[in-house]
Amino acid sequence: MNKIISLVAVAALCVACGDDKKKPGGDASPDTPIGIDAFQAPAAPAVGPQLDRLGRPAINTALNHAFDLSAPAAGSAKDAYNMDASPGTWGTTWGPEFAKNLAIIDALDSTITATGCGNQVLYNGQPGGGGSAVTTSYSTLAGILANDELYLDTSKGMCAFYLAVEFGVATGGGNSTCGGRAPSYDVIDFSYSALAAGLSGFNLQTFTPLVGDGVAAHTDISTTFPFLGAPH
């Protein structure tokens, strides 16, 4: 009798436990993991407004209301520039503002030429600048910079300096390196040299910029991803 009672008890326990492949509640789907049929993927988040362009460095800072006395107004203009998601109208929208600031920066090298003006890259549409001042003298470069995209020539096997693709187009000589922007490039010195002194602002053999901001290029970089040094 005791043996019969024990067997009945074991059977009852097995029934109570149920099949361990089944979900609680006796669902007849033994191969379905617990709870997976109740999972619903969340809806994709709505895409908000564009916040930044992340194109060429310092373009918005240096050429968009850079010399305004009203900081709030300048800040609003820079925010509007970053949020402008219509590339087809960037030139007409921002070109005139850029042209005004290009004229101011062109005068920075007044110790190199009599006035410092007129030798900026593409002044009057000429690679080396030159010619008499007219209302459109800065329009060519302003239009190029307003199209604020960073160009990379993937057909080239070597990368050597910032704006290589753009310089190749401006000078008509083509480009032998990829362009783009490596973390080691001193992009501010390169920009100052191009905007203030034009082609005369570079060693044209190495394209080393000769006009700078006094701050050295980053050296705390790595050869492995993410390539940048530790935050500081």
What does the pLDDT look like over 34-64, one tens digit per residue? 555 567 788 888 888 888 888 898 999 999 9
Let me know if residue 147 belongs to a domain.
yes
Let me know if residue 43 belongs to a domain.
no
User: What 3-state DSSP class applies to 228?
Assistant: strand
What is the value of pTM for the model shown?
Answer: 0.72
More confident residue, 55 or 136: 136
Q: What is the pLDDT of residue 92?
A: 94
Let me know if residue 224 belongs to a domain.
no
The tally of domains found in the chain comes to 1
Measured on CA atoms in the order 119, 120, 121, 122, is the torsion positive or negative? negative
* DSSP per residue, 166-210: HHHHHHTS--SS-BS--TT--HHHHHHIIIIIGGGGEETTTTEES
* DSSP per residue, 133-169: --TTTTHHHHHHHHS----B-TT-S---STTHHHHHH
Q: What is the pLDDT of residue 90?
A: 94
Let me know if residue 23 belongs to a domain.
no
Indicate the pLDDT class of residue 5, thresholds 50, 70 and 90: very low
Let me know if residue 195 belongs to a domain.
yes
Q: What is the pLDDT of residue 181?
A: 87
More confident residue, 39 or 84: 84
Let me know if residue 230 belongs to a domain.
no
Per-residue pLDDT, averaged over 205-215, amounts to 80
Domain limits for position 175 = 59-78+89-209
Q: What is the pLDDT of residue 80?
A: 95
Whether 65 has a pLDDT exceeding 90, the answer reads: yes
Whether 184 has a pLDDT exceeding 60, the answer reads: yes
Whether 198 has a pLDDT exceeding 80, the answer reads: yes
93: exposed, middle or buried (Cβ count in 10 Å: 0-12, 13-18, 19+) = middle
Indicate the pLDDT class of residue 111, thresholds 50, 70 and 90: low
Let me know if residue 168 belongs to a domain.
yes
- List, for residues 153-172, the tens digit of each pLDDT value: 999 888 888 888 888 887 77
Indicate the pLDDT class of residue 115, thresholds 50, 70 and 90: low
Instruction: Determine the angle formed by the axes of helices 139-146 and 90-106, rounding to 10 degrees.
Output: 120
Question: Considering only CA atoms, which of 130, 136, 202 is closest in space to residue 163?
Answer: 202
Instruction: Kindly list the distances between the CA atom of residue 131 and the CA atoms of 122, 124, 125, 140, in Å, as whole numbers in the listed order.
Output: 11, 7, 10, 14
Q: What is the pLDDT of residue 36?
A: 56
- Average pLDDT over the chain, rounded to whole? 80
Let me know if residue 130 belongs to a domain.
yes
Per-residue pLDDT, averaged over 141-164, amounts to 90
Indicate the pLDDT class of residue 6, thresholds 50, 70 and 90: very low
Question: Considering only CA atoms, which of 197, 216, 143, 154 is closest in space to residue 179?
Answer: 154
Instruction: Please give the Cα distance from 118 to 225 (Å, whole number).
Output: 42
Whether 9 has a pLDDT exceeding 50, the answer reads: no
Whether 76 has a pLDDT exceeding 80, the answer reads: yes
Neighbours of 64 (CB within 10 A): 21
